[in-house]
Structure 1
Amino acid sequence: MTLLSTKSSLPVSRPTRRAAKRLTVPRVFLHLGLIAWGLASILPLVWMISASLQTNAEIYGGVHLIPENPQWGNYVRAWDQSSFSDYFFNSVLYTVSVVGGTVLFASLSAYAFARMQFPGKRVLYGAFLVFLFIPIPGAFIPLYLVLANMGLLDTQLGYILPMINGSLPVAMFILRAFFEQIPKELEEAAFIDGASRLQVFTMIAFPLARPAVATVVILTVLGVWNEYVLASVVFSNQALLPLQVGLLSFQGSYFSQYGLMMAATTITTLPIIIVYLMFQKNIIRGVMAGAVKG
């Protein structure tokens, strides 16, 4: 019996191994292509960091990824000169404010759309999703007029409120998908114990949706930190500019000092890269869940 079973298993195992070998060939080329693409993508970042530690003579002398004498003073000069540190802290303030407002309003509204029943629910939710397809520059003229009439031009609040409004549709879309996946039995048990709707949200729904909240936070941080156009429209006071707009002003003042410029660009870029690398799994998980459920 054992010989027969062994012989009968041989023809089955050989095709399986051959099929596995065939499958590894395209995977090898796929991995090689991804590695090449990754290296090509990261090379500009590596060169930027390398150039930030070089003098102008080294930069003009050719491409040197490893500086002979690292100029760490470029970072100190970039931070101290041309109000660059003020631009950095402005961006931190705007990012924290917009993230907080987006998470607060998006989580409450997304939970309402996912769990509560009220007239015009689908129409209202569809109206929110329409904003996903409206390009932000197309709304600059009416937005400028509204802010001017309200006296919010050239103010921090006049920048933070439109940024929160622009972040809400995507945040609501992601959070609503997560709230709909929460078993209703958990909420029903809480209602039986005497919990209110707000208590169910704060004690059950919101904590369970932490992966979605993390996704919203990261996407909002990326959007606010890299925003340029709206800040150029709202602000005329140099002291209120965020980092991306301030970087352009810095570039105009130190255009010929490439080491200093690359140091300023590195300071601008590295925080957002670190945040993305730390939480990229949450972004993929949240977007995929929103795509499947939403």
Structure 2
Amino acid sequence: MNPRGTRLLAGRSLLVLFMAATAVPFLSLFTTALAPQGSTPHGISWPSHPHWHNFVDAFNAADLLPLLYSSCLIVLGVVPICLALCAAAGYGLAVLGFPGARLVFGLLLLGLTVPIESLITPLYYQMQSLGLLNTRWALILPLIGLFMPFGVFWMRTFFQSLPKELLEAASVDGAGPWAAFRRVHLPLAAPAVSSLAILLFLWTWNQFILSIAMIDDPSKRTAAGALGAFQGHYGTNVVLLSAGALLIMLPTIAVFVVFQRHFVKALLQGAVKG
């Protein structure tokens, strides 16, 4: 086999290993969710009599309907606002080149290095001083701020990959910076915006630790955050806990499967180039 074929085989083998490492935990969780309640399955083994009603029992036991509703409200509060701010900030940093743009971008990059866990305590007292504790705004506002550094970096790198002649052509046609952004740059950035929306949705929906810290009422948390309370009540019932976890993960899996082409398209068009 020639060297190129060897590299290709090695690459495919590595991809298969990564796929197996990703799929095996989900398969184990799925087979566990179908086992008889009260049992403790080991490994991956398809039950002789799958108990599909475990998903219905987990849905009712965790009272998932209001949790899903709460997650949708939080997602609708975070994703559109964050997308608008990141697109505008990325355009300003990449295209307009205002004084101090590099300093602002450096501060945003510094924000990428700060772990969320280290910010929980100051965020808690800040939300407490604003009177927003135990409300969904106590989760929406911090998440917008926490997602801004990556979102601005994502959009800035995309706008930098576009030809500078676009802004010059727009100015020749009489369009100002705002009109050029709205009519020229933003439509071209649709793949980057859609892929960023997918990431923001996944991160918001799966938010766990900040949801528990800021909101005491489980019905106002994200579905993933409410899983902590569900685990406290049904932690010994591994089967029911696995079924509940799968139900909570189902929307994120569905969104990624449906919109994965947009995500790949953004990567191929240079959304993270440079």
Q: Is the shorter-chain TM-score for this pair beyond 0.5, marking a shared fold?
A: yes
**SS in structure 1 of the partner of residue 62 of structure 2:** coil
Q: TM-score, normalised by structure 2?
A: 0.89
Quickly say closer, same or farther: Cα 1:157–1:25, change in 2 above 3 A: same
Q: Post-superposition shift, 1:285?
A: 5.6
Q: Which residue does the alignment assign to 2:77?
A: 97
Query: Which of 161, 169, 175 matches 1:195?
Result: 175
Amino acid at match of 1:232: I
Q: Which residue does the alignment assign to 1:228?
A: 208
**SS in structure 1 of the partner of residue 273 of structure 2:** helix
**SS in structure 1 of the partner of residue 2 of structure 2:** helix
Quickly say closer, same or farther: Cα 1:183–1:31, change in 2 above 3 A: closer
Stretches of structure 1 lacking an aligned partner (at least 5 in a row): 1-19
C-alpha distance in 1 between matches for 2:214 and 2:136: 9
C-alpha distance in 1 between matches for 2:216 and 2:2: 63
Asked if 1:159 is matched to 2:139, the reply is: yes
Q: Is the 8 A contact 1:173 1:290 kept in 2?
A: no
Amino acid at match of 2:27: V
Quickly say closer, same or farther: Cα 1:146–1:256, change in 2 above 3 A: closer
Q: State the number of aligned residues.
A: 273
- After superposition, residues 31-180 of structure 1 pair within 5 angstroms as 31-56=12-37, 59-60=39-40, 65-180=45-160
C-alpha distance in 1 between matches for 2:40 and 2:120: 41
Identity %: 28
Asked if 1:23 is matched to 2:4, the reply is: yes
Runs of 4+ in 1 over 6 A off after TM superposition: none
Quickly say closer, same or farther: Cα 1:185–1:279, change in 2 above 3 A: same
**SS in structure 2 of the partner of residue 56 of structure 1:** coil
Q: Post-superposition shift, 1:155?
A: 1.1
Q: Going by fraction, where is helix more abundant, 1 or 2?
A: 1
Quickly say closer, same or farther: Cα 1:291–1:196, change in 2 above 3 A: closer
Q: Is the 8 A contact 1:46 1:65 kept in 2?
A: no
Quickly say closer, same or farther: Cα 1:183–1:50, change in 2 above 3 A: same
Tell me which moved more, 231-240 or 203-212: 231-240
RMSD across aligned C-alpha pairs, in angstroms? 2.3
Quickly say closer, same or farther: Cα 1:126–1:40, change in 2 above 3 A: closer
Q: Post-superposition shift, 1:113?
A: 1.0
C-alpha distance in 1 between matches for 2:146 and 2:44: 42
Q: TM-score, normalised by structure 1?
A: 0.83
Give the number of the structure whose alpha-carbon radius of gyration is greater.
Answer: 1
